[in-house]
């Protein structure tokens, strides 16, 4: 609470110390929204989803809903992020009830005002609704309605403007750093918007609009080609079927190459930090990972603590069996569990201090002979970005960078 108080009273450059409110986009905005609106979450759920039924218990959600629809309850489901939320209803009458009930609850119970311009009832069968940069509409498919989600028009324009700025920056200074920053930008927006059902269409159009701009500015500083032997990160997220620019030996991530990723629900009981949580994670692992974890469990590493052996398995399963520097899949015989901070320098066997590495990457981190280093760099296909990570590990052990 002391930290929150100090952050609220922190001086804003050019404005001084604020008398009320939270700076927009600050760290506290989301946190305090969750604290205040947690009461709203429970109230909305109590109006329908978790409303207690007095008669005999119902085993399925379908039977529960059937019992509730014969009452005067208003059916609605809340979706909220920070102070932005939607309540999904089945009909206009329920939506009207929910709108007035929520406005009244926020005003009288939480002392919050609702913006009339941003708050409205929308029929998703006829119009789009906007939420967190996405557009949502219920389109007809056969005899039912399905979600049609895409990207807001103004958000597309912002992406296009930002992409042009970064392309201009690469043209002015075609360095590995600027190429990497461009890739971080592309991967970030792909990972955010790939939940949209029509994300591929939206980004294909964006890439088409930027195609001539990008080609005319980068043709002098890079090579336009299909990727040949790209780094593991590129191979993991993108296909080889798209031509892209190679700038300073780094392939730019193609803007159009993105597919919809289904959003799956998660269980709060899944946790790396409890025995039961780790057991559930283990049950959900792929068969090949389970096999390798079985071999790791049966391996014998002398002079290591129980904590180390347990967290080693947890780290391997969390990383899906991949090396944390190269990204390559590791069989049990290739795995080395590395202490990021050495034990003799205050490191521990805690989960947060362990890293899953290929055993030859471990050798590279500790190696001092130049000939051996060059051999390992070539054998492992270490890129410039991987080399930066290796040097971070070497620095922890007081070794010179490669």
Q: How many angstroms separate the CA atoms of 23 and 81, rounded? A: 17
Residue 180's SS3 state is helix
The predicted pLDDT at position 73 comes to 84
pLDDT at 389 over 70: yes
Strands (DSSP E) contained in 176-307 are: 223-225, 244-247, 250-251
Mean pLDDT of 369-392: 90
The predicted pLDDT at position 265 comes to 66
pLDDT at 9 over 80: no
Burial zone of 371 (CB within 10 Å; 0-12 exposed, 13-18 middle, 19+ buried): exposed
How far apart, in Å, are the Cα atoms of 100 and each of 68, 87, 96? 21, 12, 6
**Strand pairing category for 134-141 and 144-151:** antiparallel
pLDDT tier, 281 (very low <50, low <70, confident <90, very high otherwise) = low
Q: Are 48 and 74 in contact (CB under 8 A)?
A: yes
Mean pLDDT of 371-380: 90
Is 0.85 topped by the overall pTM?
no
pLDDT at 240 over 90: no
Distance of CA 190 to the CA centre of its chain: 10
pLDDT more than 70, % of the chain: 94
pLDDT digit string (tens) for 76-104? 999 999 889 999 998 899 999 999 999 99
Sequence-distant (≥ 6) Cβ neighbours of residue 324 within 8 angstroms: 355, 356, 357
Q: Are 52 and 64 in contact (CB under 8 A)?
A: no
pLDDT tier, 123 (very low <50, low <70, confident <90, very high otherwise) = very high
pLDDT at 313 over 90: no
Q: How many angstroms separate the CA atoms of 129 and 141, rounded? A: 19
pLDDT digit string (tens) for 27-76? 788 888 888 899 999 999 888 888 877 766 666 777 778 777 778 888 89
pLDDT at 106 over 80: yes
| Tokens of residue 397, six digits | 């052990």
Measured over the CA atoms of residue 238, residue 188, residue 134 and residue 263, the dihedral's sign is positive
pLDDT at 321 over 80: yes
Indicate the average pLDDT of the chain.
87
pLDDT digit string (tens) for 154-202? 999 999 999 999 999 999 999 988 998 999 999 999 989 999 999 999 9
Among 94-108, 256-270, 365-379, the least confident range: 256-270
């Amino acid at each position: 609470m002391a930290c929150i108080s100090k952050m609220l009273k922190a001086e804003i450059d050019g404005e001084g110390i604020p008398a009320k409110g939270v700076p927009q986009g600050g760290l506290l905005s989301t946190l305090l929204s969750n604290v205040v609106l947690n009461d709203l979450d429970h109230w909305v759920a109590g109006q329908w989803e978790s409303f207690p039924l007095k008669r005999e218990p119902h085993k399925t959600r379908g039977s529960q809903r059937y019992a509730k629809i014969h009452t005067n309850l208003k059916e609605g489901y809340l979706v909220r992020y920070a102070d932005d939320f939607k309540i999904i209803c089945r009909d206009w009458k329920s939506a009207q009830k929910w709108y007035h009930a929520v406005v009244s609850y926020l005003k009288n119970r939480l002392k919050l005002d609702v913006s009339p311009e941003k708050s409205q009832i929308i029929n998703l069968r006829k119009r789009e609704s906007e939420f967190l940069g996405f557009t949502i509409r219920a389109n007809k498919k056969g005899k039912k309605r399905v979600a049609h989600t895409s990207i807001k028009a103004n958000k597309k324009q912002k992406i296009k403007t930002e992409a042009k700025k970064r392309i201009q920056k690469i043209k002015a200074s075609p360095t590995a750093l600027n190429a990497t920053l461009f890739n971080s930008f592309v991967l970030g927006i792909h990972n955010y918007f790939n939940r949209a059902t029509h994300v591929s269409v939206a980004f294909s159009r964006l890439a088409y609009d930027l195609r001539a701009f990008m080609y005319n500015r980068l043709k002098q500083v890079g090579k336009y080609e299909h990727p040949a032997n790209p780094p593991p990160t590129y191979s993991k997220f993108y296909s080889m079927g798209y031509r892209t620019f190679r700038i300073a030996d780094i392939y730019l991530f193609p803007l159009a190459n993105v597919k919809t990723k289904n959003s799956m629900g998660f269980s709060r009981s899944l946790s790396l930090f409890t025995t039961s949580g780790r057991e559930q994670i283990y049950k959900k692992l792929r068969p090949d990972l389970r096999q390798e974890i079985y071999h790791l469990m049966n391996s014998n590493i002398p002079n290591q603590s129980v904590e180390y052996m347990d967290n080693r398995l947890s780290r391997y399963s969390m990383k899906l069996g991949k090396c944390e520097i190269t990204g390559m899949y590791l069989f049990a015989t290739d795995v080395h569990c590395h202490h990021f901070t050495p034990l003799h320098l205050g490191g521990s066997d805690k989960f947060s201090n362990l890293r899953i590495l290929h055993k030859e990457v471990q050798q590279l981190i500790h190696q001092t002979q130049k000939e051996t280093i060059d051999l390992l760099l070539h054998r492992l296909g270490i890129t410039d970005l991987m080399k930066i990570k290796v040097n971070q590990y070497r620095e922890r052990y007081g070794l010179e960078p490669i």
